[in-house]
Structure 1
């Protein structure tokens, strides 16, 4: 166990979608750091394969929690179950999501409801359900919300997915200001290509969201696209990078290094879009107070609306 992660030993972590893909990579990284785990799942085959890995490595079997992350009542029961089983919950990782492609200009309400419901609604459900338990716990605690590099980089084929990840980014960055004064860490994780089957979400679309504006799924084209995922980062490596970021109390965790060109363009485009005229002193003072309040929150002070005027 690395020196930087030893403080997590015996901490209890709940990971949604923790039996496959990136979620299982995080679960393995946590288990190897001797954390105790509760993992949500929907697919019994994935759960069985995950269980075999824990047994083969002589590690404590997780608490298995069958859960649809869009089910608010189910999520509330899951939080109660995990806390009752372990006596405390210290870490929640909101990871489950769907990756769906299509022309956003053709999207239907069903497309929005499904993708936003899972990718953003699932995170909201995890935060609302598990935060009370984290607040009751003591010692090192952390909320980890998994977004994507799509939280920064938009494109023509994943508009709703991108919107959901922008939403997770905004929620997490704001939530961090509220949690640091409570002694709870909070990290936004934006991974890029990981060697998973995340590309095939369209094949598992629920019947209640069948009225898609994207048209029938082109299986051969999607499967060809999915081959690119074989070049992705090993999920365990991504999980280890996430754990290291948590240990360093990073509010933002990037797992992949290949985006300097993109961020340089974002920075330059953003500066170029700002008007060149000078802002009046009154508005400058408002923004000064906002920055000061944000800094104070990250230093441990609870901020109220009175600190902003």
Structure 2
């Protein structure tokens, strides 16, 4: 380990070097309002395999500040990076890792021509390039209302920026930030303050760092990044934010300051891009240093000539534009038909590898063939979710042959109608075994795998609107779906500590084969069949296909939605259950009377 000071213009930069000099060099650049000590945990882990260089940027920590409080432009910061590389004797291209404003600097380094040829790879964490940001905003606004909402949402996340840029107001805000920063790290980021971070110089650093915003936000990006070293590309490439340097994006899915959509704005603009999603907040390097160090090391070793691991291959697939689940492994139960089949297709269309599980092996294989015909990847597996041992074997098979799933959709279920008085012990046990026990096993077995992997994930449980809408004809089905909804809510709180999302989907009346398989207990065989036919025709007239539910599933995973209500009747029923439970019960009574009259008519006709 060695400490040195490097001069860049009028400032002196404090630099710390770890590891042995003959190893590949990794340079870590921090953001606002941090110092290089933010990287300590990651640097210690990387130093076992690389030479690691960390420095305090100008105005932070042990580095001096410029006399001009606005002397923080990206061209000046590129000069600082050059000075550090020269000072540590970096004759070979280095691997750059940047967080927050350190990532913004990294993008300038790999897009501009000034130091690009001195960079072998770049890992970006929570700091998009400003050109990418502008392009993302324009494209989102042009895409329609949903895109406009994304831009507005990001503007709300970034409301602090104009505050920091305003004279005097920014200085006051920096003081407030410095006072509350330790608490912020502990409560919101899961990274308790420790020696060195936050730094003792935090109040001064926060004030000096205002220059980063005031010198760069709203300024036009230079085409080349200042003085050049190495071949010059066409000016248009830099202006568009394109680079041929391999880039790894580490996207913290709980980042409070940048939406996933924005942080992924480099997709389509980098020749070799890899995307990783971390189950963490903005300061992921503090809260999950093992994960960050492992991903950086894996990426660096591959760029230096090592093999592309399966994990990196999936990260490369995730970088494809329009493939939000590219490279992800998704398990869907009950995927032979209906909502499960539509969900498997939807995930495959967005680049996921899908495990199609169903008790009907033939149906599972048909879904797999359909996905393959559309150019996707899917694997069929026959499993009975009521069989505990079979589910254990299924979960082990998926992990050992394909890896730990990124998303699990527990969809397998059955429906049954009729009075609770006519529901036998066997009927009740079967309903519970499939609808509740099957969900429980999917959550427990795959949730445990996700926790052990430590890279987050998402679990979706398919419930129903009858979970909160009392229906005298669906007591057993409604009870099991209510259990699924409550189990999901509890499990979500449990898994939050591991960065694993859990969502419930509550569809309304959906046109799926489940209606044709619904058994009406307590009915004569002829009446039972006619009721199924009538219910099927009613659902078909409603015309709500399972593909819409599948889209809601994907949206719930992307947005980490706790509960998604699908179809107007499901949303209205939820509102009534909260605002007027009495009205909900009244609707149930009206439905019961109508059902009684209908059944009386059937019995009278058959008599």
Considering the TM-score relative to the shorter chain, is it more than 0.5? Answer: yes
Q: Distance in 1 between matches of 2:545 and 2:518?
A: 23
Equivalent residue, structure 2, for 1:16? 333
Alignment of 1:1-309 (within 5 A): 6-60=323-377, 62-202=378-518, 214-217=522-525, 218-230=528-540, 231-269=542-580
Change beyond 3 A, Cα 1:260–1:129: closer
Q: Which has the higher helix share?
A: 1
Q: Could you tell me whether the CA contact under 8 Å between 1:17 and 1:23 is conserved in 2?
A: yes
Q: Distance in 1 between matches of 2:569 and 2:474?
A: 20
Q: Distance in 1 between matches of 2:360 and 2:556?
A: 29
Equivalent residue, structure 1, for 2:111? none
Change beyond 3 A, Cα 1:257–1:77: same
Change beyond 3 A, Cα 1:140–1:6: farther
| Structure 1 residues 197-256: Cα deviation after superposition (integer angstroms, max 9, x where no partner) | 1113346xxxxxxxx962444212212211122234222221112101210111111122
Q: How big is the shift at 1:44?
A: 3.7
Change beyond 3 A, Cα 1:228–1:271: closer
Change beyond 3 A, Cα 1:232–1:76: farther
Q: How big is the shift at 1:82?
A: 0.6
Q: How big is the shift at 1:86?
A: 1.2
Q: Distance in 2 between matches of 1:73 and 1:134?
A: 20
Q: Which has the higher strand share?
A: 2
Q: Residue 355 of structure 2: SS of its match in structure 1? A: strand
Q: How big is the shift at 1:266?
A: 2.1
Q: Could you tell me whether the CA contact under 8 Å between 1:197 and 1:229 is conserved in 2?
A: no
TM-score (norm 2): 0.41
Q: Distance in 2 between matches of 1:128 and 1:183?
A: 16
| Structure 1 residues 152-188: Cα deviation after superposition (integer angstroms, max 9, x where no partner) | 1121111000000010011000111111110100101
Change beyond 3 A, Cα 1:254–1:268: closer
Alignment size in residue pairs: 262
TM-score (norm 1): 0.78
Q: Could you tell me whether the CA contact under 8 Å between 2:419 and 2:472 is conserved in 1?
A: yes
| Structure 1 residues 20-69: Cα deviation after superposition (integer angstroms, max 9, x where no partner) | 10001110111011111111122244234313311321211x22111111
Equivalent residue, structure 2, for 1:303? none
Higher Rg: 2
Highest RCO, 1 vs 2 (Cα 8 Å, sep ≥ 6): 1
Q: Distance in 2 between matches of 1:176 and 1:27?
A: 23
Equivalent residue, structure 2, for 1:277? none
Q: How big is the shift at 1:264?
A: 3.9
Report the RMSD for the aligned CA atoms in angstroms.
Answer: 2.3
Structure 1: 5+ residue stretches without partners? 204-211, 273-309
Q: How big is the shift at 1:119?
A: 0.5
Q: Could you tell me whether the CA contact under 8 Å between 1:25 and 1:236 is conserved in 2?
A: yes
Q: How big is the shift at 1:88?
A: 2.1
Q: Could you tell me whether the CA contact under 8 Å between 1:8 and 1:140 is conserved in 2?
A: no
Change beyond 3 A, Cα 1:59–1:152: same
